[in-house]
Amino acid sequence: MTSATRPASSLIEVSGLSASYGRVAALKPVDLRVEEGEFVTILGPNGAGKTTLLRAISRLIGSSGQVRFKGDDITALPAHRLAKLGIIMVQEGRGLFGEMTVHENLLLGAYGLGGDRAAIERRFEEVFRLFPRLRERASQVAASMSGGEQQMLAVGRALMAGPKLLMLDEPSLGLAPKVAAGILDTLGELNRKGLGILLVEQKAPLALRLARRVYVLASGTVRAELPAHEISSHHDLARYYFH
Amino acid sequence: MTLRDITSTRLGRYGLVPVAGAIFIALLFAFVFIKGGYLLTVMQLAMIYGVFCVGLNFFMGYTGQASFGQNAFAALGGYGSAILCVQFGWEPIAALVASMAIAGIASVIVGYPTLRLRGHYLAMATFALGLITYDISVQWQSVTQGYMGYSGIPPLGVGPFTVEDERAKLVCLMVILLVGVWISGRLRNSRFGRALRAISTSELGAAALGISISRYKLAAFVIAALYASAAGSLFAHVVGFISPEVFGLQMVVVTFTMLYVGGVGTVLGPAVGAIIASLLPEIVRSTGRFQDIAYALALILMLIYVPKGLSGLANAGKKRAGEEG
């Protein structure tokens, strides 16, 4: 079926995705979807399988099940091909190249643009508008920056890739509340411009401020899928965690 | 601030240590050039090993992979040059280029399956590659002349112009090494080089940005093989003789030492390491029967106090200069 005749599809749709580390099943068959321009959050306690889920979607670990992107089956594609489609992940711990400068890290984000300097320059300007601090730190080695600056760089680098779906694994980890809120606000701004976001977060109040829908993950399974406002007002997350 | 502005600020300023290091190497080179004799040969070999190490640095330094078998490609270069020149009367330059092409093709054929391995397994597989090549060079006597090796290999040159004077050979090798270092530096700071360095830090992180890990590893392996082949050919044309021992296990040990003494993953480190590690035995020779101990002690002290290699020392000096500035 060609894209012209295909019915409207989710941005990403995951069906029966499971993954394991050795004999330990970290992710039991999980179904999940993110629509175009939607902000979806995955909440869950430690060890719920949230990171594993994002890694499995990104093909950074082996998994079984099906992943469709804009209706196309991308299950068999390697990780680097997914990035070229616009599926970009900001890893837990930021995953920066610490010995490289901010400038070099951002250039690596724009790897898919090849030698198109004009397009790279435009992306730089977009990222520097969102994170002016990165412009000031351009020649600084990434590892020497503060946690907040590193997280800005991690998000900025992902944006350099021109993502269609941005997946973030606990971007608030280890950050001061004000800094974390600032990063999340930026994500909200990007989402309002149409960027699909799949956010894994433990700090529920932060994530629920922005998300439209929430998946509650515990013990490798989806315990609940519901609108974000319902959780913030009526539900006790712990009830799902220990269900 | 534009991209160009950022790039220009990245250059920073030179510190005292790198400048002092460059002057020291230049003086050392001038001293050897003027004094001549045996030291001239030592420096020639340092230049050849330097070419080898600059190539090895692509795979081990920039990409962070282990290879104990690049001597196999040096052997291909050496024997390729020897056979093509001695048996078939080729021009040395043509033989060098043809040998590099053969080594490049061989590295693709060997690297494609081998580079699926990681860590120790990759190290062992590449080590086996070196051992197999050594055995072939010993056993396939009809082609390699076994332990006898090849002699009478013509010096570098084009047509009637040959580089036969020892000092001219040294200058020629130095120019080749500098070109090799320049290419290495250009590539390191290119899109290609950044991708290699990203792989060295985190393969998953690099893949998540769209970098094809297997393709880049193979490319680094092939580049290392091309440099190694060029080094092997240069050895053949400069010394005029090759045998299996030239490209044996000792070459692996010596080049690793050079790479780590100079600074693995840096642009200048491999060349600096090749020069220092080649001249060090001559410096400690005055200790007589303790020279091996003195050599080992010097290496250990260097690795303890300059763990990132001599180029790392220069970078530390540059950072300090930048902070002061």
Copy the structure tokens of residue B96.
């060098």
Test A108 with B198 for CB contact under 8 angstroms.
yes
Residue numbers of A between 51 and 70 with CB closer than 8 Å to B: 58, 60
Q: CB of A139 within 8 Å of any CB in chain B?
A: yes
Q: What average pLDDT does the segment B260-279 reach?
A: 94
Distance CA A146, CA A65 (A): 39
Q: Within a domain: residue B2?
A: no
Q: Which residues of A touch B6 (CB under 8 A)?
A: 103, 124, 135, 138-139
Min Cα distance A116 → chain B (Å) is: 11
Residues 6+ apart with CB under 8 A from A214: A40, A41, A42, A43, A207, A208, A224, A225, A226, A227, A228, A231
pLDDT in the model for residue B118:
86
Tell me which residue of B21, B54, B25, B71 sits closest to B279, measured CA to CA.
B25
The amino acid occupying position A62 is G
Distance CA A187, CA A196 (A): 10
Band the pLDDT of B12: cuts 50, 70, 90. Answer: very low
What is the longest distance spanned by two Cα atoms in chain A? 53
Band the pLDDT of B261: cuts 50, 70, 90. Answer: very high
Test B208 with A78 for CB contact under 8 angstroms.
no
What are the tens digits of pLDDT across the range B125-149? 999 999 999 999 999 999 999 999 9
Q: Within a domain: residue B146?
A: yes
Q: CB of A241 within 8 Å of any CB in chain B?
A: no
**Where in B181-314 does DSSP place strands (E)?**
241-242
The amino acid occupying position B318 is K
Q: CB of A128 within 8 Å of any CB in chain B?
A: yes
Sign of the dihedral defined by the CA atoms of residues A139, A143, A149, A153, in that order: positive
Percent of chain A exceeding pLDDT 90 equals 64
Asked if ipTM goes beyond 0.90, one says no
Q: Which residues of A touch B190 (CB under 8 A)?
A: none
Over 90: is that where the pLDDT of B315 sits? no
Q: Within a domain: residue B215?
A: yes
Q: Within a domain: residue B56?
A: yes
* H or E element in which residue A74 lies: none
Q: Which residues of A touch B196 (CB under 8 A)?
A: none
Other beta carbons less than 10 A from residue A34's beta carbon: 23
Q: Select the residue of A111, A115, A128 nearest B210 (Cβ to Cβ).
A: A111
**Where in A35-170 does DSSP place strands (E)?**
39-43, 64-69, 72-73, 87-90, 165-169
Q: What average pLDDT does the segment B172-192 reach?
A: 96
Percent of chain B exceeding pLDDT 90 equals 74
pLDDT in the model for residue A242:
60
pLDDT in the model for residue B7:
46
Q: CB of A162 within 8 Å of any CB in chain B?
A: no
Test A139 with B194 for CB contact under 8 angstroms.
no
Here the contacts of B107-113 (C-beta below 8 Å, separation 24 or greater) are B107/B73, B107/B221, B107/B222, B107/B224, B107/B225, B107/B226, B108/B218, B108/B222, B110/B72, B111/B217, B111/B218, B111/B221, B111/B222, B111/B225, B112/B218
Angle between helices B38-57 and B213-239 (to 10 degrees): 170
Over 50: is that where the pLDDT of B8 sits? no
Other beta carbons less than 10 A from residue A144's beta carbon: 14
Any idea which residue has 């992107």 for tokens?
Answer: A69
Order of strands across the sheet that contains A39-43: A87-90, A165-169, A196-201, A39-43, A213-218, A221-227
pLDDT in the model for residue A2:
41
DSSP string of A140-163, one letter each residue? SBGGGS-HHHHHHHHHHHHHHT--
pLDDT in the model for residue B323:
44
Tell me which residue of A217, A202, A205, A209 sits closest to A186, measured CA to CA.
A209
Distance CA B270, CA B183 (A): 13
Copy the structure tokens of residue B69.
């078998």
Cα B291 → chain centroid: 25
Distance CA A168, CA B289 (A): 62
Over 80: is that where the pLDDT of B98 sits? yes
Is A145:A102 a contact under the CB 8 Å cutoff?
yes
DSSP designation for A33: E
- The low-confidence residues of chain A, meaning pLDDT below 50, are 1-7, 234
Over 50: is that where the pLDDT of B9 sits? no
Test B191 with A114 for CB contact under 8 angstroms.
yes
| Beta bridge mates, A224 | A216
Burial class of residue B296 in the structure, from the number of CB atoms within 10 Å of its CB (0-12 exposed, 13-18 middle, 19+ buried)? exposed
Q: Select the residue of B6, B12, B191 nearest A103 (Cβ to Cβ).
A: B6
Is A221:A30 a contact under the CB 8 Å cutoff?
yes
pLDDT in the model for residue B287:
86
Better-predicted residue by pLDDT, B3 or B21: B21
Test B10 with A60 for CB contact under 8 angstroms.
no
Q: Select the residue of B6, B195, B202 nearest A111 (Cβ to Cβ).
A: B195
Task: Supply the range of the domain harboring residue B118.
Answer: 39-248
Provide the pairing of β-strand A221-227 with A213-218.
antiparallel
Three-state DSSP string of B123-156: HHHHHHHHHHHHHHHHHCHHHHCHHHCEECCCCC
- Looking at the structure of chain B, the number of domains it has is 1
CB pairs below 8 Å between A and B: how many? 88
Min Cα distance B325 → chain A (Å) is: 15
Give the Å distances, CA to CA, from B13 to B16, B74, B240.
10, 37, 43
Tell me which residue of B12, B103, B63 sits closest to B318, measured CA to CA.
B12
pLDDT in the model for residue B87:
93
Residues 6+ apart with CB under 8 A from A188: A39, A209, A210
Test B3 with A79 for CB contact under 8 angstroms.
no
Any idea which residue has 């003789």 for tokens?
Answer: B241
Q: Within a domain: residue B253?
A: no
Min Cα distance A229 → chain B (Å) is: 32
Instruction: Please give the residue of chain A at the shortest CA–CA distance from B216.
Output: A80
Better-predicted residue by pLDDT, B118 or B99: B99
Q: Select the residue of A84, A107, A115 nearest B210 (Cβ to Cβ).
A: A84
Q: What average pLDDT does the segment B230-246 reach?
A: 96
Q: Which residues of A touch B3 (CB under 8 A)?
A: 117, 120-121, 124
Q: What average pLDDT does the segment B263-271 reach?
A: 94
Give me chain B's average pLDDT, please: 89
In chain A, CATH 3.40.50.300 sits at: 1-66+163-243
Copy the structure tokens of residue A65.
């099940």
pLDDT in the model for residue B63:
96
Q: Within a domain: residue B52?
A: yes
Specify the range with the lowest mean pLDDT, choosing from B157-166, B233-242, B310-319. B310-319
What topology does CATH give the domain A1-66+163-243? Rossmann fold (3.40.50)
Over 80: is that where the pLDDT of B71 sits? yes
